Chains A and B, each alone.
Chain A
Amino acid sequence: MRFAHALKKEILLLLRDPAGLGILFILPGVMVFLITFIQDLAFNRFNETKLEILMADEDADTLGVKIKKGFDASGAFKLVTEQNGTPLNTETVTDLVAKGKYEIGIIIPKGSTQKIRDNASQILASAFNPEAKSGTSDDTSKITLLYDPALLPSFKASVNAHLDKNITQIQSGILVDAFSKEMQQLVPGMQPISLEGNVGLEVHEAYARKAENKLEPNAVQHNVPAWTIFAMFFIVIPLATNMVREKDNGIEMRLRTIPGSYFYSITGKMAAYQLVCMVQFIFMISVGILAMPLMGMPALAIGTNLPELIITAGLTALAATAFGILVGTVAGTHDQAASFGSITVIIMAAIGGIWVPTFAMPEVVKKLGNLSPLNWSLNAFYDVFLRNASVDVLWINWTKLLVFTFVLAGISLLIKKLRRAG
């Protein structure tokens, strides 16, 4: 009965706090939508819209043709070689990239192909005749890549890698051509060697997962759990400030003079916020499943391990609530609770991989991230969402969350006890 009244009281207080509800529901809902939309857009832009690259082909020989062919075949880039019907040159490419109208420009200097041919001939000549001089660095042709300073490093790395791959193939092709010509002179009637055909090796990309796992990784699958956890941990702010308010206005003192009521009040509070977290979880999952497709994004797939998903959400909610109780116990003022609560959650989210994957972080931050409850929860959600994992995998992160909850609740009780003695 006392618990029911405590729970009812907390729910009424929450429902009558529109600002708190805004923090708990609207803010994370908007964030997950916005971030996923932006990431999805960037992903689509890279994969579907094609990044336009300017090319000034001063060489006007095989090299330019092969580079264009290679980039066009990639599907990710579109090479632009002329503007308003006029072929691009070094000056126009430099000018357009400098003005930020295009992000990347390639300049192939005059005579590049010939230099490669000459070098190839020299390499072959030195192979057949060791006395012959081989190619020197002075004979190297330099292709210039111009970048807009605002270009994302990931795009830059991608273009670099693609060009490197292209050039290796082109050099091999020219070398094989030269070798083929030499051989034809030595062996009359021999057909030219061609590298155009497939020699039986290609790269196949796939996600490492169990055969029964049909979940497709995408921005939605990554962002919805991440922002759900962030939202759940944000209950620290209303919970802690609510506790500080109870301290400030004497309610906590009154409750501590009523037999057993403080226990019921705290458990009622925990239950109410646990309930809020689960509603947040359902809300965010619903955004992923129902609202994301309305914006042209893929729908969230929650997999088949529903009990595991609910347990993961429940344990995350417990950990968040316990953290809120601790912040509320330690904080002396409303401002302390709000600022300390939000800053610690943001720090734990940042190092825990909520915004940037932990694998992309420096080693020290990665180690720190392993201590963040948001990281344990995120890993557990990814295990369910992306790997369709079950208890045998999930128990480690579940245990971490549970231990975190009990340790924090214990510390809160200890602080209360010490304060009464003080």
Chain B
Amino acid sequence: MNDTSPHMIEMHRIRKAYKGLAEPVLKDINLNVAKGEIFGILGPNGAGKTTLISILCGLREYDSGEARIDGHDIVKQRQALKKLIGVVPQEIALYDKLSARENLHFFGACYGLKGSELRDKTEDYLTRFGLEKSASRLIKTYSGGMKRRVNLIAAIMHNPKVLFLDEPTVGIDVQSRTVIVDFLKEFNQNGCTIFYTSHHMKEAEHLCTRVGIIDNGYIVTEGTPAQLMQQNETENLEDVFLQVTGKDLRD
């Protein structure tokens, strides 16, 4: 792996175990995501998707292996890495007693934005996501879809090179999902590499340029949605998923 790599994300033999668990969550992860891709990581509950994203975002340390983002070692160059990435957590990571505008001002300022740039970007995104009229309302009064939209904006205020999204559309209506998915496509076309997890197979099929399926600590298959459907002789990604991971319930 080197700095001139065409890959934005590179993971080589990543292993991660938690104390108290019999088996490592990630056993031997090898994964490359090209610059400008929208890569979807799919897997059953407990497969290690969130751990994988946490490692890539520098929130967790891995036990062995090597990982880089845009050529930066994610352990040794953590601070440089943080400037490149944006993270949309699975939870609504917002202050519910602040308004959408106040939340975005705070997180934008955290990314180093200030003055008119901070104000203008906040207003632009609020308008872009249809939240301008409710921008002064407290987040706790928002619907699930509105919260998800603000949750996304808070991660992109600084124009990250890589955006990590952990189930960004869970529990929201079709309208909000469409706004988010359309925006992610547009954001990707402007040069942002997207790394995304979801349980929503149709959404992944529609959004991702490539997907990888993780199970039992390994990436068991990866490719474009079309390739995977062809390889597994199925008509949709959900059938691919079931064929690869089986129908057994997971804890």
Cβ contact of A254, chosen from B54, B61, B98, B155, cutoff 8 A: B155
Q: Are A250 and B97 in contact (CB under 8 A)?
A: no
| Chain B residues in 8 Å Cβ range of A251 | 93-95
Selected interface stretch from B40-48, B107-115, B203-211? B107-115
Apart from the given pairs A6-B109, A257-B59, 19 other A-B contacts in the complex at a CB distance below 8 Å: A1-B114, A2-B109, A2-B110, A5-B105, A5-B109, A9-B98, A13-B95, A13-B98, A16-B97, A17-B97, A250-B92, A253-B89, A253-B91, A254-B155, A257-B85, A258-B110, A264-B110, A420-B59, A422-B18
**Chain B residue at minimal CB-CB distance from A257:** B87
Q: Which of A12, A251, A254, A420 has the most CB of B within 10 A?
A: A254
In the docked arrangement, what's the CA distance between A249 and B96, Å?
10
In the docked arrangement, what's the CA distance between A6 and B108, Å?
11
| Chain B residues in 8 Å Cβ range of A261 | 110-111
24 A-B residue pairs with CB within 8 Å: A1-B109, A2-B112, A4-B109, A5-B110, A6-B106, A8-B106, A9-B98, A9-B102, A9-B106, A12-B97, A16-B97, A17-B97, A249-B91, A250-B89, A251-B94, A253-B54, A253-B87, A254-B154, A258-B107, A259-B79, A259-B82, A259-B83, A260-B79, A422-B19
Binding site for A on B (CB under 8 A): 18-19, 54, 57-61, 79, 82-83, 85-87, 89-98, 102, 105-107, 109-112, 114, 138, 154-155
Q: Are B114 and A250 in contact (CB under 8 A)?
A: no
A365 at the interface (CB under 8 A from B): no
Q: Are B92 and A249 in contact (CB under 8 A)?
A: yes
Q: How many residues on A have C-beta within 8 angstroms of the other chain's C-beta atoms? A: 29
Q: Are B61 and A420 in contact (CB under 8 A)?
A: yes
A41 at the interface (CB under 8 A from B): no
| Chain A residues in 8 Å Cβ range of B82 | 257-259
Q: Are A255 and B89 in contact (CB under 8 A)?
A: no
In the docked arrangement, what's the CA distance between A7 and B173, Å?
35
| Chain B residues in 8 Å Cβ range of A209 | none
Chain A 251-308 interface residues, beta-carbon cutoff 8 Å to B? 251, 253-261, 264-265
Minimum distance in angstroms from A71 CB to a CB of chain B: 63
Minimum distance in angstroms from A346 CB to a CB of chain B: 27
Beyond A16-B97, A257-B57, A422-B18, whether A250 also contacts B91 by CB under 8 A is yes
In the docked arrangement, what's the CA distance between A422 and B54, Å?
12
A421 at the interface (CB under 8 A from B): yes
**Chain B residue at minimal CB-CB distance from A264:** B110
| Chain B residues in 8 Å Cβ range of A13 | 95, 97-98
The 9 closest A-B pairs by CB, nearest first: A250-B91, A250-B93, A5-B109, A250-B89, A261-B110, A259-B82, A254-B93, A16-B97, A257-B87
| Chain A interface SS verdict (over half) | helix
Minimum distance in angstroms from B192 CB to a CB of chain A: 15
Q: Are A258 and B59 in contact (CB under 8 A)?
A: no
| Chain B residues in 8 Å Cβ range of A265 | 110
In the docked arrangement, what's the CA distance between A16 and B138, Å?
10
| Chain B residues in 8 Å Cβ range of A4 | 109
In the docked arrangement, what's the CA distance between A248 and B91, Å?
8
Q: Which of B60, B91, B154 has the most CB of A within 10 A?
A: B91
Q: Which of A5, A258, A422 has the most CB of B within 10 A?
A: A258
In the docked arrangement, what's the CA distance between A256 and B94, Å?
14
Minimum distance in angstroms from A246 CB to a CB of chain B: 8
**Chain B residue at minimal CB-CB distance from A16:** B97
In the docked arrangement, what's the CA distance between A258 and B106, Å?
12
In the docked arrangement, what's the CA distance between A1 and B110, Å?
9
In the docked arrangement, what's the CA distance between A260 and B58, Å?
13
Chain A 20-52 interface residues, beta-carbon cutoff 8 Å to B? none
Q: Are B110 and A253 in contact (CB under 8 A)?
A: no
In the docked arrangement, what's the CA distance between A249 and B103, Å?
14
| Chain A residues in 8 Å Cβ range of B94 | 249, 251
**Chain A residue at minimal CB-CB distance from B110:** A261
| Chain B residues in 8 Å Cβ range of A12 | 97-98, 102
In the docked arrangement, what's the CA distance between A13 and B97, Å?
6
Q: Are B112 and A249 in contact (CB under 8 A)?
A: no
| Chain B residues in 8 Å Cβ range of A9 | 95, 98, 102, 106
| Chain B residues in 8 Å Cβ range of A5 | 105-106, 109-110
| Chain A residues in 8 Å Cβ range of B86 | 257
Q: Are A253 and B93 in contact (CB under 8 A)?
A: yes
| Chain A residues in 8 Å Cβ range of B105 | 5
In the docked arrangement, what's the CA distance between A260 and B78, Å?
11
**Chain A residue at minimal CB-CB distance from B108:** A5
Minimum distance in angstroms from A413 CB to a CB of chain B: 16
Cβ contact of A253, chosen from B19, B59, B154, cutoff 8 A: B59
| Chain B residues in 8 Å Cβ range of A253 | 54, 59, 87, 89, 91, 93
In the docked arrangement, what's the CA distance between A281 and B95, Å?
28
Q: Are B60 and A254 in contact (CB under 8 A)?
A: no
| Chain B residues in 8 Å Cβ range of A421 | 61
In the docked arrangement, what's the CA distance between A254 and B18, Å?
22
| Chain A residues in 8 Å Cβ range of B60 | 420
Beyond A12-B97, A420-B61, A422-B19, whether A254 also contacts B87 by CB under 8 A is yes
**Chain A residue at minimal CB-CB distance from B61:** A421
**Chain B residue at minimal CB-CB distance from A249:** B91
